[in-house]
Every structure is written in C-alpha cells, then in structure tokens.
Amino acid sequence: MRRFTESVRAGHSLTYHEMREATNAMFSEQIAGVDIANFLTALSIKGETTEEIAALVEVLRENATQIPVSSSVVFDNCGTGGDGSQSFNISTTCSFVLAGAGLKIAKHGNRSISSRTGSADVLEELGIALDFQPHEVDELLELTNIAFLFAPHVHPKMKRIQVIRKSLGTPTIFNMIGPLTNPVSLSSQLVGVYRQDKLMDLADVLHRIGRKRAIVLTGAGGMDEASLAGDNHLVLMNEGKTIPFTLNAQEVGLSYAPLEAIRGGDAKENAAILKSVLRGESSPYLDTVLLNAGIGLFAAGVSSTIQDGVHQARKSIQTGRALSIMKSVVVYSQNRNHLEVNA
C-alpha cells in the first residue's frame, strides 16, 4: 500500500491492475488503517482517473453479496450524496414512480452521511426492511417492480473502510462511487453527482462496468439530483458513446423553484413529503420528482424524450400505481417480519 501511496504522491496515476491490487489490499486486515487513510488522501489530492475509479468499483462489486436476479433489464437511480443541499429524498421517491411506470428498480442506498436523512432512514420510517436477502430481492422485483439494497448489508467488507473514511473527515474517491457499486447486474442507470467535473469520467466507468445506457448529471446549484433551480448538466452514455447536454426544467413543462423549496427534514418529515408526492399533491417536491423520474425513464430507454418521460412519470402517480407499489413493499416487509418472529 505504501508503494502505491508514494507513486500517487509523486503525481503518477495507477493503472487499472495497480488500482485493483491497492483496493484488494484495503480489504486486508494486515494493512494498517493509517496506510489506507494516507493512500485515499493522496489519491484525492492527485485527482482520480477513470481507470482508478473503474478498478475500485469492480473490486467492490466482486466483494459484495452476490444478488442474481431473474430479469435482464434492471435499473437504479441513485445520487452520490455530498451536495449539502439538505433536500428531501428525491431519488427514493422517484424509485417508486419509476417502478409504477414499469421499470424494474434495484435501489442501492445508505443511511444519512452528509444530509439529515438518507434513503435507508426514510425507508425505515415507511416500514420497509433494510436487510432483504438475495432471493427476496428477486422476489420483490417480480412482485412489485422494486427492491432496496442497503449498502452496509450488501457490502459487509466495507465496514472498516467506512470507519477510516469518517476519521479523515474529507471527501475521498468513495464519495463518488456509491451508486456504481450496486451488486445487481444493471442494464441502465441514472447517477447524480455533485461534482460536474466528474460527469464524463463516471459515464465512461458506467460503460466499462457493463451499463448499456446511462445518464450522469449534476443539478443546478451543484445538486446530485436534477433541480428546478436552473440549468442541469447531463451526460448521456449510450453503448459507449457520450453526449453532454444541459436541461432546464421549464423546457419540459415544469416550473422554476429555488433549492430552498425542496428542503427536507428528519425521516418522519421526509416520509410525509414522499407520500404527498405519490398522492400527486402539487408542489415543487412533486415537480422535482417528475423531472428526475422523466430523466430516469429516458436514461432507461423507456421514453424517447425526457418530456415524454415526465408525462409517463405523472401518469404513474396519477393512476395511483406508484403509491400502490410503495404500500406493497411495506406489506411485504411486514409479512416477512411476522414470518421471522414466528419462525
């Protein structure tokens, strides 16, 4: 590990194979925590390359709990976090809308790290389990079109590294790659990242790890979700080709709203916001979800344009399909817990 750290400190980028070796070393109990911290810091100062990010992601996925699923067309919509916007749980709310529009969603998420309420926190408040087993993930995808993967549950070897990350108190390569480490074999994906300078890099990584189609975006105001507050910067990756473009919510029939209008709160408050959106109550929260879900449906190739995607997302809500799916996942969780208690 020290050899790699010295190389990075000298300004050299690691090859794909060197980064694989360094990542595997991070999982070794023989490597001191301080050496891992020094390596991550050096990498962050140098700036991470596509090769380094792709190698790290692939090793993490190889070391994750393997989750084979029956469907060959599975989608995830997830932001990296870290944008400091204190917004409500946009991608989690969107996931139910996308499922209601017919997509199979394997939603990868975690508890709050930089925001007040992470996806796992709000799911728990809704009554949804966080420890679904691989066969339950597949069953949920078939029954409800959606399953949730709690990052610490599917990445058990990351526990030690998480402690080291927290001790550093500064962003590292891990702050960018959470959404890319979903252990389900996804066909397409929507990834939000607060760093606009990494859009092309992450689009390239998504192609390298097998996504046929994806969108990576940075929202107006530096959000890791698309925003109503101005121009959003996106990169479409389709079969390895990348197309950067900008999108303003008003271009797809949605109204401007400042970032303050979509602030969230604790898990209870965010669960209430989520339910209000799925009930179709007009608000900037609803419009933000329509925008992001519309982009998601376009990223998945389900809609021919983002505007058409917004229309399909609105239909998912208006028909009650999105809310019905959310309730079905809650019932599945409750029945599962009841069975476990009586086992």
114 marked as binding residue: yes
24 marked as binding residue: no
Distance CA 326, CA 150 (A): 17
11 marked as binding residue: no
How many degrees, rounded to 5, is the angle at CA 80 between CA 79 and CA 85? 80
165 marked as binding residue: yes
92 marked as binding residue: yes
121 marked as binding residue: no
The pair of structure tokens assigned to 164 is: 């080291």
108 marked as binding residue: yes
The pair of structure tokens assigned to 314 is: 């609105």
303 marked as binding residue: no
76 marked as binding residue: no
83 marked as binding residue: yes
Q: Are strands 241-248 and 188-192 parallel, antiparallel or unpaired?
A: unpaired
195 marked as binding residue: no
276 marked as binding residue: no
Q: What is the separation, in whole angstroms, between the first and last Cα of the chain? A: 46
Helix or strand or coil: residue 62? helix
90 marked as binding residue: yes
Q: What does the chain come to in residues?
A: 343
82 marked as binding residue: yes
Question: Edge to edge, what strands does the sheet with 213-218 contain?
Answer: 146-150, 105-109, 75-79, 188-192, 213-218, 231-238, 241-248
85 marked as binding residue: no
Q: At what angle do helices 16-26 and 2-9 cross, to 10 degrees?
A: 130
Distance CA 146, CA 53 (A): 28
79 marked as binding residue: yes
111 marked as binding residue: yes
Q: Which residues are annotated as a binding site?
A: 79, 82-83, 87, 89-92, 107-115, 119, 165, 224-225
| Residue ranges at the known binding site for anthranilate | 79, 110, 165
Can you say which residues are annotated as belonging to the binding site for 5-phospho-alpha-D-ribose 1-diphosphate? 79, 82-83, 87, 89-92, 107-115, 119
Q: Which residues are annotated as a binding site for Mg(2+)?
A: 91, 224-225
